A and B are shown apart, each in its own frame.
Chain A
Amino acid sequence: MRKHTNDRLQGTLDLLVLKTLASRGRMHGYGITLHIEQVSEEILRLEEGSLYPALHRMTQSSLLRSEWGVSENNRRARYYSITALGRKQLADEEKNWAALTGAVARVLQFS
């Protein structure tokens, strides 16, 4: 099985998940997938299977909180929400991201 070799990519997924949960509150995995697709106007299409390891990892690092709940269609589903630690992490990641994209943009403009 291929390991995540690109930390940036993985970091991006984490960032997207954290941002989604910060703005939308409690969601289940499928809901997060849909939200990211919709907001990015289908430009970002997740490899859906890779979402769950990320969710579990972040839960274990206490960035997220998970609990079982009932979904819109009355099924049992696992809901995730962001913790205080997660928000802090999100702020950091957003700053990093802005710095990175800003830098890339400048390079693209001026070189």
Chain B
Amino acid sequence: MAWFNRLANLLRPTRVSNEIEEELRYHIEARTADNIAAGMSREDARRDAVRRFGSATLSRERSYETEIFLWVETIRHDLRYGARSLRSNPLVSTVAILSIALALGASTAIFSVVHAVLLNALPYHDPDRIVILWGTGKVNNTLENNTSVPNFEDWRKRTRTLENLATYREVEASFASNGTADWIEYAAVYGDFFGLMGRAPVLGRTFNTDEPDGHQVVLSYRLWQTRFGGSPRVLGQTVELNGVTSQIVGVMPQGFAFPSKKTLLWTPASAIPGWPTRRSGRGHGFGPVLGRLRPETTLDQARSEVEVISQGLAAQYPSDNANRGMRLLPLAAQIHGKTVPFMLAILSGAVLLVLLIACANVANLVLARGADRRQEIAIRSALGASNSRIVRQLVIESLILACIGGALGLPFAALGIRAIVALAPHGIARLGEARLDVPVLLFSLGLSLATGLLFGLVPAMRISKMGNQRNSCATQSQGMRRVFLVAQVVLAVVLLTGAGLLIRSFFAIQSVDPGFRTSRVLAGTLRFSSALPPDRRAELYSDAIRRIGDLQEVKAAGAISTLFYSGNEAKFGLRAVEGRPLESPQQWTPMTWATISGDYFQALSIPLLRGRFFSDADTKNTTPVVIINETMARRYWPGDDPIGKGIKGFDPRGRNDDWVRVIGVVKDMHSSGLERASIAQIYETQAQALDDTENLVVYTDASVADLRDAIGSLDRSAVLTDVTEMSARLEEQNAPRRFQTLLLSLFAAVALGLAGAGIFATMHYTVAQRTREIGIRMALGASRSAVVGMVLHEGLVLVAAGCGIGLAGSLLFSRSIRSLLFEVGPGDPATLSLVSLLLAGIALLACYIPARRATRVDPVIALRCD
């Protein structure tokens, strides 16, 4: 039984090798005895026996290899040997292991984020088959429009490629349980929502969303834990949502957070205010449509069906659907968005470059040590170790190095993950789930092994040949080390340039004037119960702002319905402008409008350029009026005074047939981020529009507590949240960019350090190897400066070559991050020259120290050594 023999051999390797030895010894001794019997001298007999046999060691090594399973044993031997040889050169090994640990740790951290955010399956049943459908506006360029409930019903009836259709609407409303008032975000769902998601509640039941009585809620795990202490007795309890009493019927499992982690509960759609109109109004958008691809159906089939159905709906209901399209995308693509995968791709690319630099570094060290070990390797190969055996030995040493590096990198990775989670901008779905779990650890192990092979194999093959052909290979390996050095410099330059461009963009953005005061301005969100009628809420808002304005430390207080807009590309036009012909949709531009109350402009120090601010005289019963910004004034009345002009289309009272008068023009502010140009903006007054103006801005030295006191007695449903300095709000808008810039800069710094260490180590070895030559030169009268110059020249030529190639390569890399650049081009000369200078400086330092060492060579000692 061959396999049994092999297995048995594996279990007793020493015995096998002893037996083989004994067998061979018997052969030689028997031959010797026969030779003696034939009349040879003892000595000749022995020599003849060995000669006939061939080298005994040779044979033993070959026999060994026939014992296939003994391969494991030789590897164990190689491991022991490798560990010993690493210990014998602790400084070099430490540098190598640390650089690889750093690079592997960073890679593992980035991967764990990528894994949690992008690769991990969404926590729903068969999530890859769930798709989302957004309405598109063909005229005004909008991409994420809601679908009305009647349209949804038609979709549900007509589709043959999708099943379990559902739709949802994200709602914010006042929420009260056990007498505590709060404001929460939740989702009102319609259709087969829970069936589609396919997750059972951990407690109680879900609801059938089409049932007419909508006074039930299903809690999220998070709300259940924070608000109800995770008690199983919540079932049947009542909460007040939107002023309506609803019953808790179930609790969803942990991780079920749809559409976002801010969603705290789910209700039937019929529970939201104004449901009857939405139920029947084809023009009233409700939410996006969700569905599951039927078995055997592809995304493309579904897409072409979507095209057909939306054209059908447009033809059938032209007044509501004429300009509506529909686009379908996988749910995962919707949740990941576009910016996060791009950001992670950039970071993964950067960390890969760092890893490659570390690899080149370690490969260089391995090569350099290989040169030192030429003698040892020559002896081993003379003793009959095969070439492949020596390569294996060297590769195993590299693998040990990489695995130790990988293991030591894990604490770096854990630290890195925590730092990334803490520093990352808000709103990256599932980022919090990034951790060192089994897949990430496996990835790390695999990456370590791959790294070990990468930096071990090529040097090992080169070194293994050194034993035979002495000098030619030594110079070849010298050449190879130069290639590695140049490669390192190239990679570092690419990374540094990318980071440099991002840093310059970052500071360019920081220096943009936002167009409003950011210091000593508190911003907060104030809400009153959504169950109150709109005019009562408007009254409460104006009362609250008056009270806050009356506080002694407050210089100005105001509020606005929407403070910042995020990436609003939608285009709009006015219905009519007095004295001008009608605009065609092609002339439309991005435009926003908001309702303000109190001294909003004064609090933010936005100057009035013409006309007047709103006053108490502007009421429901007077002419509707608006204030516009400069961009708006330029767009409709270039070179003309817009004051007193009439417009239609943005009537604060919702009646669009009367002229609305422009009473003032204010300076532009960057309301959709500092990187985006200001867009046309219309301001209405709450006295006429009755919209909620929930975003407070207060120019004050007063504390948050003072504000709370002022509001507190107004209404028991008042909730004031998210109070921060205005400057912090602005910074939050810049958070993704700050995060990217910071991380890329960090990687660039590590790359620079590793490349510097690489240059230093290579030059250090070069000098060490040339000790004898340098000694001769100095003995023949070469000056110190000539020797320094020689070494510097050698190093700097390589670095310059690396810089040159790197700058060319960086143009490619920078182009891929062009969308992140602000006011600098990919080939920004200042950044490129600064990077070159920085690298040249580091290289100079890294070369100078070995060069100085070279001059201290004592010619006599140098000649004696070797």
Contacts and interface: CB of A to CB of B under 8 A. Distances in A.
Contact of A53 (B31, B33, B59, B386): B59
B68 interface: yes
A5 interface: no
Interface stretch (B48-56, B209-217, B230-238): B48-56
Interface in A15-53: 28-30, 33-34, 45, 47-50, 52-53
A77 B62 contact: no
Contacts of B56: 49
Contacts of A78: 19, 22-23, 26
Given A1-B58, A48-B54, A50-B54, A29 B66 contact: no
A105 B6 CA distance: 42
Contacts of A68: 19
B47 interface: no
B20 interface: yes
Contact of B55 (A30, A49, A56, A59): A49
Interface string B59-88: 101110111100000000000000000000
Nearest to A34: B34
A76 interface: yes
B2 A60 contact: yes
Contacts of A60: 2, 5-6, 66-68
Interface class of chain B by DSSP: helix
A29 B386 CA distance: 25
Interface in A41-96: 45, 47-50, 52-53, 56-57, 59-62, 68, 71, 73, 75-78
Given A29-B27, A50-B59, A57 B54 contact: no
B2 A77 contact: no
B384 A1 contact: yes
A53 B20 CA distance: 10
A52 B59 contact: yes
Interface residues of B, number: 34
B24 interface: yes
B389 to A, nearest CB: 8
A62 B6 CA distance: 12
A1 B57 CA distance: 11
Given A30-B26, A60-B6, A71-B26, A48 B19 contact: no
Contacts of B6: 60
Contacts of A1: 58, 61-62, 384-387
Contacts of B20: 52, 56
Q: Determine which residue in B55, B59, B67 has the highest number of CB atoms from chain A within 10 A of its CB, and name it.
A: B59
A67 to B, nearest CB: 11
A56 B27 CA distance: 15
A30 B53 contact: no
Nearest to A60: B2
Nearest to B33: A73
B53 A28 contact: no
Nearest to A61: B2
Given A1-B386, A62-B2, A56 B66 contact: yes
Contacts of B29: 75
A56 B19 CA distance: 12
Contact of B22 (A33, A47, A76): A76
Given A52-B20, A52-B24, A56-B67, A30 B30 contact: yes
16 contacts: A29-B26, A33-B27, A48-B52, A49-B55, A49-B58, A53-B62, A56-B66, A59-B5, A60-B5, A60-B68, A62-B2, A73-B33, A75-B26, A76-B22, A76-B26, A77-B26
Interface of A: 1, 28-30, 33-34, 45, 47-50, 52-53, 56-57, 59-62, 68, 71, 73, 75-78
Given A48-B52, A50-B54, 4 more contacts: A50-B59, A52-B63, A53-B62, A56-B66
Interface of B: 1-2, 5-6, 19-20, 22-24, 26-27, 29-31, 33-34, 52-56, 58-59, 61-63, 65-68, 384-387
Give 6 closest A-B pairs by Cβ, nearest first: A49-B54, A49-B59, A1-B386, A30-B30, A56-B66, A53-B62
